[in-house]
Structure 1
């Protein structure tokens, strides 16, 4: 279990590290800010586009095998990132690194379900939430420390020894699981990559105001891939895009709740640094510390909420958490112009408290509503909802800034509160499904 969590933590840590160090990498690679964004976009695009195909492959080839291959690829790609001599070489290595991270994330939730007995699965999902939150919280600090004593390649080189140790431990510890009898539908996998990849590409370019003439083509191509994917999967016993699972109300409502909540996270974590620095006049160092209470409280609440989810309904727990998150986002949106660090800190902590109270129970609801034979696809949806929600939130931040440079962050936080409110209603509606 620890080896699996280490791999997931490395993938989460790498996201936060790259975001923080992007200006330094752009400067040393002699790249413009616009082109350097591909260092981040390539990683995210590779993950979102391949999550569901790799989750389906986990059902067929075994979750253990996919996780081990993903961890090995992530480690090798990290070395390639450290040795990259140009921006194109680094972007290519980041694509491979994102593919490795996708393999780990696609099956991690299914492996947790296989490792923990049913009465303790909430605890397992809570531990997973704790690890991801801690990795996300320490990422900016780790990047700052490494860049203060060395150059950007060491941001990726540090993954190599950790990845080797995690791979050795995972080889011994991860359990073998049953395999499905059906085969991977390769055309459907390619349609899925096109659908999600083009959609995330379009959202990313829209967020940065790049190439508006290409957006209709990218969105149209994404829509065509979606149509082809759904037609291809019609009547399939185990569809790659799990329409069979979405026919179950508990699964569909839980996935929608997850999307709304991670859209809140995307809106907040992209807009808040601008809010703190441009509106409140804080320094970048101050911003790093002011952002910490949110993931720190998620880390604290993850195991607590996980244990509670073994006793109480996920709909109620998730709804309560999202109401708290909604209140926290509204309080951040209405911060006074001369807010103190304490004023900011307790509001950020309130958001983290609500987010942490939601995450583990919702994950358990998604996995618990899927048959064991379809745990891989359910695990893929967990990760897909997280990443697509974050990407949607980031794109909406860009739209808010087009409305107003000065009020953009406040608009984004108010939009985040709206997503949290919708998520709370959806979460509480799951209580009506109880018989």
Structure 2
């Protein structure tokens, strides 16, 4: 008979496979989705952002709440519910009716529902594995679980490219059979190993304050990326400023409330454990650095490198995913190995080394020219994938091992919240740097380039292109210049010679014009990311020796109790 721990690993791995696959399928298929619902990328930035980020924002908001509730009502029950919600949302996405803005809003809503299901899965999968596997095997289990997620990501890239070329709705349908199988299997096979503590109360006040504070912060960050009035980003938008400010104040108030509630949602006592705190700080700093990397590399490939190497804009989303496979391969190779090593040697050296490798990788990326040699690029991102694999599995095992068994749902939720929040913040930071640098440098660069090819009459028009529009157009598989020219009166385009039109509408002209400024902005972002990664390495190094709650803290507590009894 198969041991239960392998049943738990296979089931939770199916969930993480589905989650990673779904994320990459949507990322690769966005051009087909936007064309399918007839949305213009030049005036629909908000839909793009919410389809991309809505899932992670909702997951970040809910995972701690769900983790805490799961400690009370049962992790397996909440995990099963997550599979069901995710599957229903996938079906709703597939049958989305209509076109235009209405269809876009529906997609955003259904992605948010998917995020709710994802929160139930993310908040409980690590806790279920930590219960099923003994302390000496948790690193291996969590590492292998992450590696299977990477395979899901690779499958998502391939399936996204194939299905998007057939029918855009199919990219959502692919998750349905996995979701149905996972829902049935988890319901029949997973067991609640630790008894839920039904005597605890749900921290309603804490849940509300926490949810509202994080919603305000993350929504503010999302709209901070969007243009506001005549400004290229929205960081001076009163809504953005007030949203983030009120959210931060409410979060501070939430921490004070949690210290006084009998059964708090956010288990602050976990942060009294040094190993837990160091692992948590390393997660948020590493995610701030690494969370936006894949999206920035996708933009670099789609907007510049692939068009310069003869790929049409329409196929760049798929090929960008293919060319980023070394990043996933590095993580996949090292993830399970590092998890096994952490069971034997602890997380401190492995996680710290992984973060140092990541930091060096960011510095190496700053040395690349925009028309780089792909082999060099592939080696750098593979190297970074190795570093990430060295960090993630041991660090997660360290965090979960340090948490008391009865609070592992909360610990898993805190870990997932830090991961998703850090990733969203990272994307906001990366985008802001890139857009602000392009805003300053792109207009004069475009004007000079247009004058050089005899299209000076277009300079007043093209030099006013919002960088956000140009970047998102390339991201969605549109040639930015061709898209803009198609919206102009025929009298303007007819004044240009056919040779001039052929030059500026080619795959090569716009990437060559935008590349120097884009690379300058990426270098700034990579320097900042490298600094955050090295700070995360310091936090990781300060975690002290490996703590396993059942072995260390519980035994100390039992020994103290025996000594107290002997004294009496």
Report the TM-score range of the alignment, normalised by the length of the smaller protein: over 0.9
In structure 1, the residue matched to 2:65 is 53
Residues of 2 paired with 1:125 and 1:143: CA distance? 26
Matched-pair contact (CA < 8 Å) for 1:207–1:397 = no
Matched-pair contact (CA < 8 Å) for 1:115–1:175 = no
Q: Provide Cα deviations, 1:297-318, integer angstroms capped at 9, x if missing partner.
A: 1111111000000111211110
In structure 2, the residue matched to 1:412 is 525
Q: Provide Cα deviations, 1:114-145, integer angstroms capped at 9, x if missing partner.
A: 11111111111111211222223332222111
Unaligned runs of 5+ in 2: 1-7, 98-102, 229-233, 439-516, 553-568
In structure 2, the residue matched to 1:221 is 246
Query: What is the CA-CA distance between 1:375 and the residue it aligns to?
Result: 0.4
Question: In the alignment, does 2:296 pair up with 1:271?
Answer: yes
In structure 2, the residue matched to 1:13 is 21
Question: In the alignment, does 2:91 pair up with 1:79?
Answer: yes
Query: What is the CA-CA distance between 1:360 and the residue it aligns to?
Result: 0.7
Aligned residues: 434
Residues of 2 paired with 1:40 and 1:130: CA distance? 23
Tell me whether 6-15 or 163-172 shows the greater mean CA deviation. Answer: 6-15
Matched-pair contact (CA < 8 Å) for 2:364–2:380 = yes
Question: In the alignment, does 2:169 pair up with 1:153?
Answer: yes
Distance 1:340 1:132, change over 3 A: same
| Match runs of 1:26-425 below 5 Å | 26-32=34-40, 33-37=44-48, 38-85=50-97, 86-150=103-167, 152-176=168-192, 177-180=194-197, 181-209=199-227, 212-280=237-305, 281-282=308-309, 283=311, 284=316, 285-405=318-438, 406=517, 407-425=520-538
Distance 1:27 1:196, change over 3 A: same
Query: What is the CA-CA distance between 1:185 and the residue it aligns to?
Result: 1.1
Matched-pair contact (CA < 8 Å) for 1:77–1:96 = yes
TM-score (norm 2): 0.73
- Secondary structure, aligned partner of 1:69: helix
Query: What is the CA-CA distance between 1:433 and the residue it aligns to?
Result: 8.5
Unaligned runs of 5+ in 1: none
Matched-pair contact (CA < 8 Å) for 2:25–2:171 = yes
Query: What is the CA-CA distance between 1:52 and the residue it aligns to?
Result: 0.7
TM-score (norm 1): 0.95
Residues of 2 paired with 1:227 and 1:263: CA distance? 20
Matched-pair contact (CA < 8 Å) for 2:20–2:152 = yes
- Secondary structure, aligned partner of 2:202: coil
Q: Provide Cα deviations, 1:241-278, integer angstroms capped at 9, x if missing partner.
A: 22111222221110110112222222311221233344
Tell me whether 266-275 or 380-389 shows the greater mean CA deviation. Answer: 266-275
Distance 1:31 1:276, change over 3 A: closer
Distance 1:400 1:28, change over 3 A: same
Query: What is the CA-CA distance between 1:4 and the residue it aligns to?
Result: 1.9
In structure 2, the residue matched to 1:430 is 543
Query: What is the CA-CA distance between 1:79 and the residue it aligns to?
Result: 0.6
| Structure exhibiting the larger radius of gyration computed from Cα positions | 2
Aligned pair partner of 1:3 in 2, 8, 11: 11
Query: What is the CA-CA distance between 1:337 and the residue it aligns to?
Result: 4.2
Q: Provide Cα deviations, 1:211-241, integer angstroms capped at 9, x if missing partner.
A: 5231012113312431342232123354212
Matched-pair contact (CA < 8 Å) for 2:84–2:179 = yes
Tell me whether 288-297 or 348-357 shows the greater mean CA deviation. Answer: 288-297
